Amino acid sequence: MFYIDTIETAGLGNHSYLAGAAHTAVAVDPPRDVDRVIAAAARRGVRVSHVVETHIHNDYLTGGPELARLTGAAYLVPAAARVSVERVPVHDGDTTDIDSGLTLRALATPGHTPHHMSYVLQDGGTPVAVFTGGSLLIGTVGRPDLVDPRLTERLARDQHASARRLAAELPDETPVLPTHGFGSFCSSGPAGRDATTIGKEKTANDALVQDVDTFVRQVLAGLDDVPAYYAHLGPLNAVGPPPVDLTRPAVADADDIADRLAAGEWVVDLRGRVAFAAGHVAGSFNFEADGKPATYLAWLVPWGKPVTLLAESPRQLAEAQRELVRVGIDRPAAAATGGPTAWIRDGESPRTFPRVGFAELATELVSERGDLVVLDVRRDSERAESHLQISLHIPLHTLYQRIGEIPAGRVWVHCASGMRAAIAASLLDAAGRDVGVVDDSFDAAEPAGLRVVRRRDPR
């Protein structure tokens, strides 16, 4: 009897898998913190005999080489992938024995990358699941623009063909198990979160219901900005990331925190945005642990810049460290737990800024005297759908370099729900701007009386 365990990395929107039978198992697209995979195998009482990659990832650092080293497993990588790690090259049609009649059959599915490979899990020769990596996702496909801008259109056409190959060669009841698409920026469009099958995708996935030209045109039109850190992770995965070190960083006291800020290092407060607005270290940035700290911090921080973490508890700190190593922020320069009273030097006061909802913002706009700026930090695609008529737009991932473009006056920052606005407000506060955060759902803006401009062209 076979099993498939899902290892979720929610902060990055990815899934890895452990599939096997009585004695051995295969790990598919493992995360860098491989202890989670090893623990899953231990719970099953099996040995990891094979580790496979569907492709060389851009959005997270793989644990593939390290997991193979620790377990003695064979490390299978698509033959066309340019890597320098020791591996077993996989070609289209290759079959690998896993355990007790359980096999893995490789299907070339280029599109997300030129070398992309999907793997069909077969029990006694019958397909029982397909690991589709960044190829066929739930309701969409992996984006084709992460390799080379010159290849984007060709890879989009390859994605269409690959999705159709999977649909043609596999039974409708075959479960589709992608790596990306659960909130990942590797998805070319909004992906579902529910389980799916080849049959379900035949009726709902644009790659399987649209002709190739319509599909390609739609995919290319919908591509959004690529997180900056992706440019670093692909090359690191090609050479094999080093093992992770999750031991606690050096402890920072108030003087150390102040010195690091003075040196231009990043001090990151992981507390929730409500607590941060109520009191924080001047100059610190707020990436709340309950949001997507790895994604947005890695996107914004200059690559290689030392980072000091401030957390409410040792547990919050440890969880953040684990998230950050997945995107290449390996060792915090230092860390502290507790709260602002322990992080601020004697005689100094914490910084604060106000939080409002859209109804309060509407009142503020009427009563405010002097200059006032409403700043929208959502992505381009979100703003194109609808936006406040009075707002200035600077996407969060570009704000750190563009603060000088914001006119003088108090800045009220909003996003879709408040999380990104809180990050942006902390950046502006650290730069000395008079700032407030709109901690509210954007859906509340129009009922509050604010004029919203909506997309008019049919989609």
Positions of E strands within 285-389: 285-286, 307-311, 334-337, 355-356, 372-376, 386-388
Residue 411 makes CB contacts below 8 A (sequence gap 6+) with 373, 374, 375, 425, 428, 433, 434, 435, 436
pLDDT < 70 positions in the chain: 189-193, 368-370, 456-459
**Per-residue pLDDT reduced to its tens digit, 143-192:** 999 999 999 999 999 999 999 999 999 999 999 999 998 777 777 766 66
CB neighbours of 421 closer than 8 A, spacing ≥ 6?
Answer: 377, 413, 414, 415, 437, 438, 439
Main-chain dihedrals φ then ψ at residue 15, nearest 5 degrees: -125, 140
Q: Which of 432, 443, 436 is nearest to 412 (CA)?
A: 436
Which domains does the chain possess? 3-239 (3.60.15.10), 254-343 (3.40.250.10), 355-454 (3.40.250.10)
CA distance 300 to 235: 19
* pTM metric for this prediction: 0.93
Backbone phi and psi for residue 221, each to the nearest 5 degrees, phi listed first: -70, -25
Contact (CB, 8 A) for 227 and 397: yes
Give a three-class secondary structure readout of 106-143.
Answer: EEECCCCCCCCEEEEEEECCEEEEEEEECCECCCCEEC
Give residue 146's identity as a one-letter amino acid code. Answer: L
Question: pLDDT value at position 459?
Answer: 42
Is the alpha carbon torsion for 249, 255, 257, 259 positive or negative? Answer: negative
Looking at residue 457, its pLDDT comes to 47
Give buried/exposed letters for 179-213 (b at 16+ CB in 10 A, else e): bbbbbbbbbbbebbeeebbbebbeeebbbbeeeee
369-409, pLDDT tens digit by residue? Answer: 668 999 999 999 999 999 999 999 999 999 999 999 999 99
State how beta strands 102-108 and 95-99 pair. antiparallel
Which pLDDT belongs to residue 231? 94
Q: Which two tokens stand for residue 220?
A: 């290319």
pLDDT for the residue 344: 98
- Radius of gyration for the chain, computed over Cα atoms and rounded to the nearest angstrom: 24
